[in-house]
Chains A and B, each alone.
Chain A
Amino acid sequence: MLDQVFVSLKHWLLGYSPAAIQPAVSILLTILPILLVFPVLFALTTVLERKGLGRIQNRYGPNRVGFYGILQPMADALKSLTKEDIVPASADHTVHFLAPLILLAVAFLPFAVLPIGRNMIAANLDAGVLFFFAIGAISELSVFMAGWSSRNKYSLLGAMRAVAQMISYEVPLLLSSIAVIMAAGSLSTVEIVNKQAGFSGIFPHWYVLTPWGFVGFVLFMIAATAETNRSPFDLPEGESEIIAGYYIEYSGFKFALFFLGEYLGMFAISGLGITLFLGGWGAPLPFLTWVPSWIWFFAKLLGLIIGFIWVRGTLPRLRMDQLMNFAWKFMLPMALVVVVSAGAWRFLPQGVTRWLVSTLLLAVAYGLLARGVESRNKIAKRTYRFAE
């Protein structure tokens, strides 16, 4: 069966290895696909992103290398491999060297707990979601290491911005995940996906199709954008103010490693969003369940990536105070209301009541919070003291 083709392939290959080294081979066969598939996806995403941004900005993207510029990532990789690796003289060499390595290692780890398809998960941990966030916490430290060790004011500023932003947006990210954990009653990613299986009519039982799930998903994706330092939350690398943020002093392949780590982080957090809210590898419609589960996962992943690219092409960058105000004065209270709403959903009897209660709770909270945010930044005609 096509759905289990990779699982069967692994078992078939395992059958040929001697019994003594079978555990090691099994681990290798689980890890290697992750190490291969996601960097390839990264290469494809860079082309897609540059082409997409080009389309949004009314220009051609890369179109010289290969057919429609599809081989551009190869050219980029060759370029960054052959570039000189420059380390500033006053930099802290050890930390400067370690930072991209740690960032990359940490970027690969979260994929261990993401169910890519039915029976396709590297490590089915009892506390999988917690593992994801615990690993994500380490990447903050590696960003700081990169910024600090470069001995550059701009890179230090970028690192401080990045760490402050990541800590602030981790709170709504965690809280909106807690709503799902409450509803599913488990921290295991496999269990959460299983809870979202099945259909009522033509609608799947995804958490995004409940009122709290929808709001939670929107909050989760906004926080995820900030967490991965992508536009419009890309202040840590704001070219116009601090040049490139924490990786100014990295050149050649180390820079490429940072780039790879950033995109892997985006894939991982999108994967978690899919697992928590979009039913993981489940099919969206009942008559489409014959399509292999892993195709659905990657289709949803690609959809979210295209969303990220679209947002990057359309929204201007936020200011630092706007960023922090938005995180603490809107996202955090809203995420708390989502948790309460999910609790109400969990304990009210099935039917119209819980839809009404859950929606009303969120709508009132949204109205009040949006009014509170709006009242602070009054938009008025600018008055000049000397120019008029």
Chain B
Amino acid sequence: MSTLTSPASEDAFVAQQFDNIEQQREAAKLGMWIFLATEVLFFGGLFLGYTVYRFTYGQVFVDTSRKLDVLLGGTNTAVLLVSSLLMAFAVRAAKLDQRRMLTWLLLGTALLGCVFMSIKGVEYHKDYVDHLVPGRHFEWHGPDPYNAELFFWIYFAMTGLHAIHVTVGIGVMLVLALLARLGKFSRGNHNTVEIAGLYWHFVDIVWVFLFPLLYLVGHR
């Protein structure tokens, strides 16, 4: 093992179970996509529950959905879409070995993730003040309060699980930004940034479905 010499080429990063750097990159991406397939089913269970109850209690879902703030929800969609753009540029910078650019783009992605979480926090606070959080303080003056509460259970479960994913993503981006600053992803060793990007884009896709399904059930 030539551990004493500094890596001269990309092949220095090839773990011993792989033939070459291409195979290693392909394996990393494959592993991440398989994980994302399990995530599709993880969120899928909630989407299924949502679908069944929406068909069962259509009118209640229309009434309750109107209580959500479509401006905040829509803005958050835009925030995540732009964060995905920064993430895509981060992966590009990693491939081109642009260390400073990579660090800033990862920090920018994390920052937009924080903006998303802040807006989500404002929304949750509004829901709390308006007595829309399920539980003892839930108040509903329209028809069928029991199933109105059910909608908000689903809303908090789905957006909550998504928010956990965003939080994890922010943590990953901050760690990667630190590692990028230390030069860990230089000279072709960009696998980690690329698969973290896949995760971030996936979380974006989940929100792309949550926004219309939760905020725009009936027309306004």
Q: Do A and B bind each other?
A: no
B interface vs A, CB < 8 Å?
none
